[in-house]
Structure 1
Amino acid sequence: RGIDLGRASFLWLQFYMRLGLHDTGTARGMDDGDTIYIYDKQDSQGRLWDAVLDGSVQGVRAALDAGASLSGPEGSFEAITCRWPLHAAAANNHLEVAKLLVERGADVDRLDAVSEPALWHAVEQGHGRMVEVLLELGATASDLPSPAGAPKADYAALCHAAEKGSLSMVQLLLSKGANPYTYDDTGYCAYDYLVDQAKPLELLRALLNADANFGATQRQYQQAYQRLCAAVKRAQRYPALGCNCRTCNSVVEVRATEAEAAQTLKAQIGCVALVRAVQAGGPHCLDAMKLLHEKGALLDGQDQDGRTALHQAIRYNRLAEAKWLVSAGAHLDVADFEGLLPLHQAACTGNVEFAR
């Protein structure tokens, strides 16, 4: 292709990693469609990228003094692709280079081409000390505290660490005051990632130990569900054969139209811990449920559909979890939003052992 290998350097853009001449896509775990940027390492901008990737403070300073730009001149690789040296320093854990770049004017919260700040790359690569340095340099995240009135980056660092399953990173961010109830751009909070994805128990324990409001928050979710039921009233007449389930009363059931207020109430019902844990299952499901209950999760807590953990244990055929719930005091007479009891759920699944 006419590339002068004596002048060329190669950068894997996905994670700001340098590629050597003999590196292969398989060895680097690259996917089809990943982009390799080829730049001239002999001009000032190329020397800046080489120095950043090498972690050379002296080289970065020399390149900047020679006219290299942190944002790139108009029409340059940086300006066109929105890839920045500070992100490369964060991804490669070059602490002193990151400090120098910010000192020389790099925006610590600037987003790159995939709308991620430098802090995202530090969390993604598990560079705990780099996370601390970036926070000291003024990096922000939506789930971390910041000075009153100061704007925050639209990035939830604790959610990211929880999704990655990184215990050390979760512990670090919690020590910095991260809020486990802040939602990321997918609508998930840290609890959602840990419980829904059945992450290792140590991660969940770390989150619970740092959260003094867990039990109170679970009770707030239940209160929101009760307000939801009051907002969407249903009138039932002539219960068939004494049964109040929706199936037996479908002809005479009247339900109020859900207003915007009802949707607002639904949004207030977050991660109902035991319900979500039993749905997720996993090898340590029962241990996770016991831990959550010990920390304040409600045995009869109900999600947006009114389902309790017992409903879901039956629905997902988790007999051991169902037996534990009953032995721990879960009630058998809690109906879901449609009026179905756990026994109805067992009948629907046709599982005789659950019904018995």
Structure 2
Amino acid sequence: MAVAVSLTTTDQSLFSFDKLFSIIPPLSSSSYTLILFQPSDHPPLSNPNDAVVVKSSMLPLGKAHHEDLRRLFSKRGPHIFRDATLPISFVGPHVAEFLISRHTHIPDLASFFDKAVSGCSASQLSSLLENGIVSGNGDLVTSLIDNGADVNHKDSDGRSMISLAVKAGNVDFVDVLIASGCQINDSNDHVLHEAAAIGRVDLIEALISAFANIDVNSVDSNGRSPIHVAASKGHARVIQYFGSLTGARKPDVFDKNGASPLHLAAENGHLDAVKCLLDNPNYVKYAVNKDGKTAFALAVENGHSHLYDLLQLGDALQRAARVDDVHAMKSCLAEGASVNGRDQNGWTALHRAAFKGKIESVNILLNNGAKVDVVDDAGYTPLHCAVMAGHVEVALVLIARGARANLKSLKRLVPLNLDCFKNHPSLLVHQQPLCREKE
């Protein structure tokens, strides 16, 4: 027999059919078009879903007028066949892209997204994976991978999905992609550089742990290593981490512009990065770039006065103290040199002036706030230096300015030669305890 069919929607303000009633002849089928009244890039999602209500009834005569069908389906009760309710779901890549872009504002996102991707091909899923990673929603990324997205899909620049995850700063995505078999290519994927650019040691550790052959000394198109990138961004922890790696190239390397990491850190005014780089003995503080400029010159050029002492004035102050150049010392201090700045051995300018017996330099340094009892890396104070070098007048000045004659140094027992102080019994009395002992 023929079958009469009625099609309605739960929200008739949004959806309707091209025909509300129809008759299907025996052994036949029929197609229907569901019309969305407000087409847009924003699918009207609802929870629970909007639905199509299907009612059907046997039609023995095989024909009926529209009004007859309306009366037939307006009656309550069974119509021979059971009524059906079919949920309306939006599927396909356009819907999935919409959900990815608005994921923070859509309740029950997972349910909508699973239905949307069910209408996507494998290549479409792989393309969507890029946007999913950038979105930062782990559930969407996992859903795409579970539904068949290729984790080794490349973006338009030939970069891997791991590269995108690193750039997004998401270590969880990196772990998921690695576990799913995603690979990197050193020629296109500068993942260590990208992690260094955002200061993420955790990402760098994850990458090095996952990829045994990753090149920690790789350079990008500008000839820059990950340390260059970290220095230009001021990420001292990243610089320290790379410095601790076995097999890492010495950090004093130059990019295509002849710039070392120290040049880049100084140019951008990154104090902690400059300190970290100078702590490494491989760095050459006065190396010049292709324009013949030192890191200090770049700091001056860009007005980063807080770096002057670290990059030059501290050294200049130490040199002036060693040769008793009073004018140069005053100039350095006026320009911002730290009076208590240390060299690579922990010596201050006062240590150096005391060791050389430069009494006028000692007085200038003390008058400008030099710490009289500061100790170097070996545990020596300026007074130790003066005594060991036999400079009586300097020792007396230091004691007069508060230096403690009985201050113990830090590491090992080293008797001091006090023969030069035989004509100064008062000093001998004070200096007798001066020695070095183990902690």
Q: TM-score, normalised by structure 2?
A: 0.41
Ranked by relative contact order (alpha carbons within 8 Å, sequence separation 6 or more), the top structure is: 1
With normalisation by structure 1, the TM-score equals 0.49
Structure 1 or 2, whichever has the larger Rg, is: 2
